[in-house]
Structure 1
Amino acid sequence: MAPEDAHGQQFGTELKRWRRDRDLSLEALADLSKYSKGYLSKIESGAKPPNVALARRLDNLLGAGGALAGLVPVHHPPRAEAGATDAGGDWTIQMQDDGAGGFQAISRRALLTSTAATVAMGWPRPRAAPTGPVLGDGVAAYVQLLHDVRRLGQSGRPADVLKIVAAVVHSLRTQAGLAREADRPGLLRVGARFAEYAGWMAQESGDPRACAWWNGLAGDMAREAGDGELGTYMLIRAAEVALYEDDPLGTVRAAEAALAAATTPRVRAMALQRLAQGHGLAGDELECLRLLDRAAEQAQEADPAPAAALPVLGSATMRDPAAFVRGWCLLDLARPRESAEILGREFEHIPAHAHRVRARYGARLALALAEQRELEAACAVLGPVVEVVRFVDSATVRSDLRRLNQTLRRWHGDPAVVRIMPELAMALHP
């Protein structure tokens, strides 16, 4: 007997019992329900299966309290294939050096079962383009995209921004491989800048190996493009990575290599700043301050970047990066009062949209205030910082927050500290 027949027989038997319990004839039930007596007779005998609407109507008329309606299974319409309707699951994107690649989405159902419910597409290796020039606005559009991505990186999770940047780097490398010789440097130069920013996002995600890989790729693309300034800047980035890892020797060595290779005042200034920070981290006050003075001299000689060009190397959201570096170093040199004066003054000029930069230097400012026991002021600065870090994520900011956490615990009974510590704990555990 089919399951439908079994349900029909059971329903018919129960319907007859409930009808007789209510002292109703089949004809009287037909009159109440507006179904024919013959049709109801076939339902009771099991000759016809009941539908959901009839079962609910009879249940209501006989006061069965759902006993009859529950005997009729509700048939839901069949779902489409999981791969077509389930947008969740894993996405896999492959990007090969020759420009080929593919995309595959595997649904959660496919992951939990042995089904092959996937959506896949591929893109072949592109054919060589005609020998004409790259369209005039092509590179300019990528430059604008770089500005937009850097702004996005101020408020977005670095791991999410990195997905976008990686795809752009792949696209530019592919186009550079197909372009005529005269157009290759421009494409590679922009691609190198995207790769450099990918290194930043990997560092902010707390993945130093991925950061080093992206920095290496950026340096390779810069050298192939003939961009010596960017190639040298990647040595400065290596110094910054070492700095955030509390490695003074690694910071100094990378900064010295950058200084030796630098050919422009702007890059020399940045190399000297990282060199000063390395000596400050090591506690060498005289050398640190001497290098900061040299960096300030070089920064005064640097030419401002044209408004329509690529974003400037380094931060573009601080009024005076050299002042921030000095305030940073003074904190490492155990001079928190002077550090707080400088950082506090410059912090007010960071644009409101630069959430990541504000969090980074806000954490330093709060640390400088806390180390001179200005706890109320330190916690007032720290409040917005921990809120931002929880949403945008930042491994570099958390390195200072860990130090700040240790400092504040020395005054764990202070009311301001008591209020902020739960929020700080959440920011330290993303």
Structure 2
Amino acid sequence: MSHRNDALRAARLRLGWRTMEQAAKGLSVHGRQLLDDRHFDVSPRTWRRWEGVRPGWPPAETAMVLHDVFGQWPEDLGFTTPDGWIRPEAHEEGDVDYFQQQLEGHYRADMYLGPHDLIGTVSAQYRLIGKLIRSAKGEVRRGLLRAGAAYAALVGWLYQDAGDLGAAAFWRGVTQEIAVRSRDPHLIGYSLVNQAQVRTDLGDGYGVIDLCEAVLDESDRLFPKVRIMAMQQQAHGASLTGDRPAVNRLIDTATGLLERVDDDLPWGNACRRTPGYQVQRATCYGRLGLGREAGSLWAQVLDGVPVTARRDRGVYLARHATAAAAAREPDHAVEIAREAVEIAVETRSARMSRELATLERVMRPWHDAPVGRDLAEILAPVNEGS
């Protein structure tokens, strides 16, 4: 057989993979360990295609595994370089630029796809950043530490959205450690807000407030973005403790700071997505049992949710349905729940499933009524998959 991709063939032979079958199996085993993904697999057929005429660029997670195994990017292994590719090793400053550009794409994918398709890819990139940090120096090292903190925060969020709060808490801790190592006060504050997000999902209102107050104690040093995020998260803590005046005060203050957000950092930009923080207010009002007020706010919010924010739309719909049920409008709640369930099944978001479980609890007074049976039928695909 004529091997037309001599670079990849030579690389595998240097590792002792004498056949393409051995190479495919070896890369698959390495990838499962690196990505913590038992489903990662490269078939011998795929490897044979790679060693043929110059192959196309592999998926992002496969590119990471190839780099980890061979110490080379796919372009050095005979793969076709895609448009817009920035080679991290071309110059040290490019490492940081590359990961920042990738991060923005991950945020967009998360909003549309949900967590499960991204956890492996983002965590693999975080591990690669960690390897680069070990040998980097000066400003490049600090830039990689900042990028690493942002990636760790995203992995933590993805696990949280997938319903694995233990893994989420672990990655929030990683975020805080690497943020401290970066000596960036804004990232340190951001890491504490991330910790508070986990406490919110655990229902620990006072823990949320403690963490957010620790951030705001340093508010004079922080970008408006970080202060806003701390205030809106503290509002969630206040809603868990039943403090409506604090909820309104914190959200009003955060809203007033929004026009001052002018940094170009890739992380934390969710603060720009909900003008007036009606999403935060509606969520807090729902926890406070203010069904009619929350329902009115959710109707306004959903009118402005873009198509690309599909996962967020599903969460908001589920909360809107719960607000309708709390306002004793069960038929309206079931009507709203139909679309939320469709998105929950597609994205497999545990956050959405939890919101729908809350709806089910609030709808218990109508359990034996026709509307209750309709809801049980609608929720069946979510409950079967949980």
TM-score normalised by the chain length of structure 1: 0.67
2:339 matched residue in structure 1 = 384
User: Structure 2: any 5+ residue segments left out of the alignment?
Assistant: 1-18, 44-64, 73-88
Are positions 1:271 and 2:227 aligned together? no
Match in the other structure for 1:26? none
Contact persistence 2:247–2:281 (CA under 8 A): no
Deviation at 1:269, TM superposition (A): 2.1
Match among 326, 329, 338 for residue 281 of structure 2: 326
* Residue 78 (structure 2) aligns with: none
C-alpha distance 222-133 of structure 1, shift in aligned 2 (>3 A): farther
Give yes or no for contact 1:327–1:343 (8 Å, CA) kept in 2: yes
Quote the offset at 1:197 in angstroms: 0.3
Partner of 2:169: 212
Deviation of residue 155 (structure 1)? 3.4
Q: Secondary structure at the match of 1:246?
A: coil
Q: Which structure's residues are more often helix, by fraction?
A: 2
- Using the TM superposition, give the Cα deviation of residue 367 of structure 1 relative to its aligned residue in structure 2, in angstroms: 0.7
Q: Does 1:193 align with 2:139?
A: no
Q: Which has the larger displacement, 370-379 or 231-240? A: 370-379
2:357 is aligned to 402
Moved more, 338-347 or 146-155: 146-155
1:123 aligned residue (56, 69, 76): 69
Could you say if the C-alpha distance between residues 289 and 85 of structure 1 is closer, same or farther in structure 2, counting changes exceeding 3 Å?
closer
Please tell me whether the aligned partners of residues 196 and 212 of structure 2 are also in contact (alpha carbons under 8 angstroms): yes
Shift of 1:205: 1.9
- The CA distance in 2 between the partners of 1:321 and 1:186, in whole Å, is 32
Instruction: Tell me, in whole angstroms, the C-alpha distance in 2 between the residues paired with 1:223 and 1:86.
Output: 39
More strand by percentage: 1
Structure 2 match to 1:246: 203
Structure showing greater radius of gyration is 1
Partner residue in 2 for 1:116: none
Equivalent-residue separation in structure 2 for 1:369 and 1:322 (angstroms): 20
Q: How many residues are aligned here?
A: 323
Identity percentage over the alignment? 27
Q: CA shift at 1:411, angstroms?
A: 1.4
CA distance in 2, matches of 1:133, 1:229: 29
SS in 2 for 1:159: coil
What corresponds to 2:262 in structure 1? Answer: 304
Q: Distance in 1 between matches of 2:186 and 2:307?
A: 30
State the 1:386 CA deviation: 1.2
Say what the alpha-carbon RMSD is for the aligned residues: 3.3
Measured after TM superposition, the shift of residue 336 of structure 1 is 1.2
Q: Aligned to 1:183, what secondary structure does the other structure show?
A: helix
For residue 288 of structure 1, what is the aligned residue in structure 2? 247
CA distance in 1, matches of 2:257, 2:169: 28
Residues 303 and 384 of structure 1, relative CA distance in 2, 3 Å threshold: same
Once residues 304 and 375 of structure 1 are traced to their aligned partners in structure 2, the CA distance between those partners, rounded to angstroms, is: 43
Q: Which has the higher contact order (CA 8 A, sep 6+)?
A: 2
Indicate the residue corresponding to 1:173 in structure 2. 130
Kindly provide the CA deviation profile for residues 14-53 of structure 1, in whole angstroms up to 9, marking residues without a partner as x: xxxxxxxxxxxxxxxxxxxxxxxxxxxxxxxxxxxxxxxx
Q: Give how far 1:163 is off.
A: 0.5
The question of 1:360 aligning with 2:315 is answered: yes
Alignment-derived partner of residue 13 in structure 2? none
* Counterparts of 2:341 and 2:355, CA distance in 1: 11
Alpha-carbon separation, structure 1, partners of 2:208 and 2:157: 16
Relative to 1, partners in 2 of residues 1:221 and 1:341: Cα closer, same or farther, differing over 3 Å? Answer: same
CA drift of 1:358 comes to 0.9
Q: Deviations over 1:83-120 (max 9, x none)?
A: 78899x97754459xxxxxxx9799xxxxxxxxxxxx9
Q: Deviations over 1:160-219 (max 9, x none)?
A: 311101110111121222223221111221221111100001111222221122112222
